[in-house]
Chains A and B, each alone.
Chain A
Amino acid sequence: DVKVTQSSRYLVKRTGEKVFLECVQDMDHENMFWYRQDPGLGLRLIYFSYDVKMKEKGDIPEGYSVSREKKERFSLILESASTNQTSMYLCASSLKQVAAYEQYFGPGTRLTVT
């Protein structure tokens, strides 16, 4: 059974803090993704990675960075958190593309920046 875990379900941070969101998958998936989910906007891709130490910008990368030092772990970093980054953050993983590939999602981290 594929499992994607995220380090926290709920997180409260102050404006200006550096925030780390961790994601771990246990199925040896090559691809990993970070999304943010906001009401009325669906899921928007922040960053993704096709391999270790590799990263690609998604649709809304501003204010975020990522790190993938190991295949199973993909971290999202908010260098200086702002209130407009209050959101639900979802991590996902999938096999390397051979056709349409199913993405497996983590439970999400609800981040509040005050």
Chain B
Amino acid sequence: AQTVTQSQPEMSVQEAETVTLSCTYDTSESDYYLFWYKQPPSRQMILVIRQEAYKQQNATENRFSVNFQKAAKSFSLKISDSQLGDAAMYFCAYQEYGNKLVFGAGTILRVKS
């Protein structure tokens, strides 16, 4: 079964600085999708960014970007110019075409002012 590992239970970043959240996954498939979801305190989980495995180019959404290393099965999330509103639990998730999402355990990100 596919597994997703987030090795950092908690991370802290100073406002305006950059932070990277780590994620590794285990699969024997070549086609799949990877996601980062954000769950703010007491608010609904939302999609931050998505990456298709067949695309070599790393996905970017404004201040959020990923470093996708397919051979290493690594999918890290970089948040630039961190803001107080970025404080949340971040989940990495894996999906094969048409199949369910598999989530990591999550990383709590704290942003210091």
Contacts and interface: CB of A to CB of B under 8 A. Distances in A.
A66 to B, nearest CB: 14
Interface string A36-59: 000011111100100000000010
Nearest to B42: A107
A6 B103 CA distance: 21
Contacts of B106: 42
Q: Chain A at the B interface: mostly helix, strand, loop or mixed?
A: loop
B91 A42 contact: yes
Nearest to A92: B45
Given A40-B105, A41-B105, A100-B52, A48 B100 contact: yes
B44 A58 contact: no
Interface in A60-114: 90, 97, 99-100, 102-103, 105-108
A103 B44 contact: no
Given A41-B105, A42-B105, A100 B95 contact: yes
Interface in B56-113: 91, 95, 97-98, 100-101, 103-106
B104 A42 contact: yes
B32 to A, nearest CB: 9
Given A41-B105, A42-B106, 18 more contacts: A33-B100, A40-B9, A42-B105, A43-B91, A45-B100, A48-B100, A99-B52, A99-B97, A100-B33, A100-B95, A103-B101, A105-B37, A105-B44, A105-B45, A105-B46, A107-B43, A107-B44, A108-B44
